[in-house]
Amino acid sequence: MGDANISQHLPVYVVIMAGGAGTRFWPQSRLAKPKQFLNLWGEESILAATVRRALLLTSPERCLIMTEELYGDIVKEIVPHIPAENIICEPVNRDTAPCLGLAAMKIQERCENAIMIVLPSDHYIEDEEAFVRTLQRAANWAAHHPDLTTIGIKPSAPQTAYGYLDCGKARGKGVYEVKKFLEKPSLPLAKQFVSGGNYLWNSGIFIWQTNVLLGAMKEHLPELGALLANWQQIENKSQRDAMLQLEYVLAPKISIDYGIMEKAINVAVVPADFCWDDVGSWQALEKYLPKDEKANSLADNGRHVGIDTKHCIISVDTGLVATIGLEDMVIVRQGDILLIAPRERDQEVKKMVQKLAALGLEEYL
């Protein structure tokens, strides 16, 4: 579709964040090949699907993929149609605020100001035509207003795994002010949010002008803003890249939500007109998996045999898993690792990864 449908005076870049470890999908998602590079649903990897949607909004030359040094070659292999210079590897992982600051700086190396659409690499999106309509509406708003714009999702249930946006008055057609960002709530509080009617899930999709973002970083994250400004002043590209490699570790390790969005007053939200899911855990994945006659959700390649086993999530990549009398469990066999957990505790998989790291068992990560 291209960016002509979005803005007549600012070019549109899409930045895809693809550097996460995906620890809640361990052991299938591991350091060598995390969640965004897997085919958890459908025939294409999650990253490939995200890039395909991004190219409905802009050209390959204006699609940037932010990742880590470890994953640069994997990204190039998955999306060879994206120019190699658009695959930007962070020297170290410093969370999303430095990542997006670096992306904005890289865009401004090419043009003075632009619309920057930020997409996480690991979302499930249904109805891509509606996705494009929503993003175009948000980008058109950002092109004409100095706002930090985000996409909000109408809650379908009182989820405790998502952050929420407290929406205020209408700013324009289909655009509202954000009064407050709220972190993952308790279940009673999530129920209040859903029943209140003016709360949306925080999708992690953002749209803004690069100048607006960098200005917000100078105001709310001055240490990061100063680093970015110093790097931008170095005219020689090789010298600038060398300084960035050396100093990137000095950037504060902080998310864009904590560092900017929760502090800024110029935040707008466009409610989504599409079905969205960040598929952040094994339990969240089950709706996209085939079911057997006992309501087990299966990604087992025919390698599971059960007796009186029901309502389980079962993923098996090798060997055979046999179960008797199990209910409401998560069972994942990946190579030399077997994970077994009650389905209601699947969010604690991340804690298990942290425990393995603390025990020095990196070979299983």
pLDDT at 300: 80
- What is the band of 1 on the pLDDT scale with cuts at 50, 70, 90? very low
Residue with tokens 């070659």: 73
pTM exceeds 0.75, yes or no: yes
Per-residue pLDDT averaged across 158-175, rounded? 91
Find the angle CA(342)-CA(30)-CA(353) to the nearest 5 degrees: 50
* pLDDT, tens only, 98-127: 999 999 999 999 999 999 999 999 899 989
pLDDT at 8: 59
Provide the mean pLDDT of the chain.
93
- What is the band of 6 on the pLDDT scale with cuts at 50, 70, 90? low
pLDDT at 159: 85
- Nearest of 341, 266, 333, 261 to residue 302 by alpha carbon: 333
Say how far apart CA 235 and CA 286 lie, in whole Å: 50
Distances (CA, A) of 233 to 28, 230, 244: 43, 5, 12
**pLDDT of 26 above 90:** yes
Q: Which two tokens stand for residue 65?
A: 């993929």
* pLDDT, tens only, 62-79: 999 999 999 999 999 999
- Residues 180-198 as b or e (16 or more Cβ within 10 Å = b): ebbeebeeeebeebbeeee
Residues 6+ apart with CB under 8 A from 332: 27, 28, 282, 314, 315, 316, 338, 339
pLDDT at 287: 86
The overall longest dimension of the chain from CA atoms, in Å, is 68
Per-residue pLDDT averaged across 172-198, rounded? 90
* pLDDT, tens only, 225-259: 999 999 999 999 899 999 999 999 999 999 999 99
**pLDDT of 183 above 90:** no
- What is the band of 330 on the pLDDT scale with cuts at 50, 70, 90? very high
What percent of the chain lies above the pLDDT cut of 70? 98
**pLDDT of 4 above 50:** no
DSSP strands (E only) in 224-296: 267-271, 275-277
Terminal C-alpha separation, the chain:
40
